[in-house]
Homo-oligomer: A and B are copies of this chain.
Amino acid sequence: MSLWRQIADEIEQSIARGTFQPGTRLPGEIEIAERFGVNRHTVRRAIAALAERGMVRAERGSGTFIEQRRIPYPIKQRTRFSEIIGGAGHAVGARLTASSVEAADATMAKRLKIKLGSKLLRLELLRHADRIPLCAATTWLDAHRFPNAAAFYAADRSITRTLARFGVRNYTRKSTHVTAETAEAGDAGLLRIAVGRPLLVVNSVDIDEADTPVLATQARFAADRLELVIDS
């Protein structure tokens, strides 16, 4: 393995361990070079690799600073996980961890504007970026309007594509409510975080072009890895 890669890994682990705190300055290139017994240019190559991945930010005349990089996740009218995360250059993935049919309780009936006790399809999704899980989400669909959607989703791996099969060409965000909780064992295991770590909980309803609710979602994001950005 090349020298600069080893040095980049060393620095990355120092950041992960907290030896270098986010927002603080890295030692100068010359100092790092002396510490590792290499030339300054070798250190520069290592730092360039970290900067490319957004872990540090170099400022000429000032120093190189450690970024606390949570992936920005903009909330807009049109909010699609794969478009947002994929568009930011990450490899997007999604997995259907469970699905079931259940009766709509009062809250769900109101949110999706359907009758109380009406059949709902519940999909449990796990979405990740660069193989790292970001979000465990529960999505509810009207089982009458979207029969067999679970099977379609398993093939499509995309809510957008699955809904398109039922003629929903576009859907937009109607309401977004954000709060926070701490992770229980279930979500912690799925998201690969420790129990008790913070989750961003986003409850949302999406509507089709006829203003009819099509989707209710509760997305639980690993707050350590992501921040919501609200565009105004």
Interface size on A, residues (CB 8 A): 37
Q: Given the known A-B contacts A196-B196, A232-B76, are A106 and B178 also in contact in the complex, defined by CB atoms under 8 Å?
A: no
Q: How many copies of this chain does one complex carry? A: 2
List the one stretch of A2-10, A82-90, A142-150, A223-231 in contact with chain B: A223-231
Interface residues of A in 1-37 (CB under 8 A from B): 18, 23, 25
Partner of A106 from the list B62, B223, B227, B228 (CB cut-off 8 Å) is: B62
Q: Given the known A-B contacts A18-B184, A105-B23, A106-B62, are A228 and B116 also in contact in the complex, defined by CB atoms under 8 Å?
A: no
- B residues in contact with A197, CB < 8 Å: 182
- B residues in contact with A198, CB < 8 Å: 179-182, 198-199
Partner of A178 from the list B18, B65, B175, B200 (CB cut-off 8 Å) is: B200
- B residues in contact with A105, CB < 8 Å: 23
Asked if B177 contacts A227 (CB within 8 A), the reply is yes
Could you name 9 residue pairs across A and B whose Cβ atoms are closer than 8 Å? A23-B105, A177-B227, A177-B228, A178-B227, A178-B230, A179-B200, A179-B223, A180-B198, A230-B230
